[in-house]
Amino acid sequence: MVKKPEIGRCVHCLKDGVELTSDHMFPKAWYPDATPENLEKWQFPCCFECNQRYSKIEGDLLNRVALALDSKNPASAGLVDAALRAMDPHAGRDEKDAAARAAKGKKILGQMFKGEEIPQDQLMPGLGERWGRTKDEQLGVQIPRASVDAMTEKIVRGLVYREDGLFIEEPYKIDAFIVSDDGAKVPMELLEKAGKDFKREPGLEIRRATVEGDERAGLYEITFWQQFKTYAMVQKSDSSAQAVAAQRGATQDE
């Protein structure tokens, strides 16, 4: 007998009464080779449309970010090779797949920078040059900020649903941001003092500090493959003072 699809609410778009699929909080393809075989890969319910939308974002983003990861770091083992195969027509299963891989490679490689072309003021903290290469040897890949923000939001929504059984909805919003370690001193101090860790090591580490008296509001630090971080603030959209409250009134998760 065919199992009837579950009907419920999508964690992403918040639509209710829709057929649900299961979405991985940290994409399945993003887990490195060093991931323990028995590690639970966290999932949450979402509608088919959101699942498909994020699948496209995740595939493109991984192929780009992987080119800037350290292939010798166990936390990202296998991801660089996987990204290169995804753009290699010789790895295609058939002619159609080979053509898709070739098109993907042409698009991403065609948007890369070399040497002096690399805009130093736009480098993502943690993904700059780490191998001691000369400027002429360096390559830079474009990483869409909107895609990074979308993945940050996805992980935050997924964690809130998994840990608290809650949806992030009006009047709350998620503000994603990227800063260097120097620029993140205030949130890092808060997270060190009041944060709680949630880990799917070695690929994903999350720290969260929630606001006392407001179970949805909080500050998040998300570390990807032990190499770069993104941050997010969940706060009420109608309160500009919420960020200050989050810093002053944060408390560790119980």
- Residue 165: pLDDT band (50, 70, 90) is very high
- Residue 181: pLDDT band (50, 70, 90) is confident
What pLDDT sits at residue 253? 45
Distances (CA, A) of 34 to 26, 79, 127, 238: 15, 11, 20, 43
Mean pLDDT, residues 179-207? 92
Domain interval for residue 181:
145-251
- The rounded radius of gyration (Å) of the Cα atoms in the chain is 19
Does residue 46 lie within any of the structural domains?
Answer: no
Instruction: Give 181 or 51, the one with higher predicted confidence.
Output: 51
Peptide linkage before 202 cis (omega within 30 of 0): yes
Does residue 85 lie within any of the structural domains?
Answer: no
Does residue 243 lie within any of the structural domains?
Answer: yes
pLDDT at 201 over 60: yes
pLDDT at 245 over 70: no
What pLDDT sits at residue 2? 58
Mean pLDDT, residues 195-203? 97
- Mode of pairing for the β-strands spanning 43-47 and 113-114: unpaired
Does residue 56 lie within any of the structural domains?
Answer: no
178: tokens are 């990227």
Instruction: Give 3 or 209, the one with higher predicted confidence.
Output: 209
What pLDDT sits at residue 249? 42
User: Letter for the amino acid at 41?
Assistant: K
Does residue 160 lie within any of the structural domains?
Answer: yes
Does residue 193 lie within any of the structural domains?
Answer: yes
Average pLDDT score over the chain: 92
Q: Which residue has the tokens 């699948």?
A: 55
Number of structural domains found in the chain: 1
What pLDDT sits at residue 105? 93
Does residue 186 lie within any of the structural domains?
Answer: yes
Instruction: Give 220 or 254, the one with higher predicted confidence.
Output: 220
Instruction: Give 219 or 244, the one with higher predicted confidence.
Output: 219
What pLDDT sits at residue 1? 54
- Residue 222: pLDDT band (50, 70, 90) is very high
CA distance 208 to 197: 7
Does residue 135 lie within any of the structural domains?
Answer: no
pLDDT at 113 over 60: yes
pLDDT at 74 over 80: yes
- Residue 149: pLDDT band (50, 70, 90) is very high
What pLDDT sits at residue 248? 38
Which range has the worst mean pLDDT, 22-31, 145-154, 186-195, 221-230? 186-195
